[in-house]
Amino acid sequence: MKQRRNFLSAAVLLTLFRASGAKAHESQSMQSTPASSSSTHDMSGIPADWRGNEKIAMLLYPGFTALDFVGPQYMFGNLMGAQIYLVSKTLEPVMSDTQMAIMPNATYDDIPKDLDIFFVPGAGSAIFDVMNDMSTMAFIQDRASRAKLVASVCTGSVILGKAGLLKGKRATGHWISRQELEVFGAIPVNERVVWDGNLVTGAGVSAGLDLGLEIIGRLKGDFFAESIQLLAEYDPKPKYQSGRLETAKLEVRNLMERMFVGYRKKIRAMVP
């Protein structure tokens, strides 16, 4: 009951610890701010186990799918005390598929060798540029090989597959690429979020919210995750029921599937 009474003040404290929009040293400064620094809210009752020092790297690359990235980033950003690295080759803004730019706060050389979470978003055709970029793939392989948790959303799992990280693993991804994961040695699973050891993969785009929520639940417990879900007011009730191949109208499914025949072939061609 004490935890529940403290939730409102906790929600305010969460915003103080969101490090994603700041440079690494600025984020660290925020994390050192005492809970009592707020003049209008008493933070002293926040459960001690809600605070941590997780090191999280989220990969940015030109053409990434914005919602793949932003959904999990919102959830990770509510981990109080976490250091979130929005990492790219340079510190220049990175343009997403919808022309929304994200500002990185770290380059490949700036982030720790050992991470708590290493996250890769998906994209459309931009995933092929990533998979053909030797330096980026080497970076992914290096950090993912030591990370406590490796995560992806959408076609990000294809990138992980190309990096050799899915062999023998159950994994999911966007429906346009899910079955193609088998060419990388994965076991494709038609589920929203799939866990296999330290690997967690999400289905297409909006599944990033579910993936992020499950991850913070694993790290901090169900009560914390449920609190953040309420803070996000995440209770989707879409007007349409076309969010899965199994529920989409046949004409909708046929149209969309025809669009991606060449895309699927190109994924399979990434394996010699």
Rounded to the nearest 10°, the torsion over CA 159, 164, 166, 168 is 160
For residues 8, 10, 205 and 169, what is the CA-based torsion angle, rounded to 10 degrees?
-130
CB-based contacts of 206-209 (< 8 A; 24+ apart in sequence): 206/67, 206/71, 206/236, 206/243, 207/153, 207/154, 207/172, 208/67, 208/68, 208/69, 208/70, 208/71, 208/72, 208/121, 208/153, 208/154, 209/71, 209/72, 209/74, 209/75, 209/234
CA distances from 143 to 15, 29, 173, 226, 252 (A): 28, 25, 21, 30, 39
Tokens coding 156 = 């990000």
Query: In terms of Cα–Cα distance, which of 198, 206, 211 is closest to 240?
Result: 206
Q: Decide: helix, strand or coil at residue 81.
A: coil
- Please indicate whether residue 154 is annotated as part of the active site: yes
Question: What is the spatial distance between Cα 217 and Cα 79, in angstroms, rounded to a whole number?
Answer: 10
Single out the catalytic residue among 154, 158, 160, 205.
Answer: 154
Q: Which residues are catalytically annotated?
A: 154
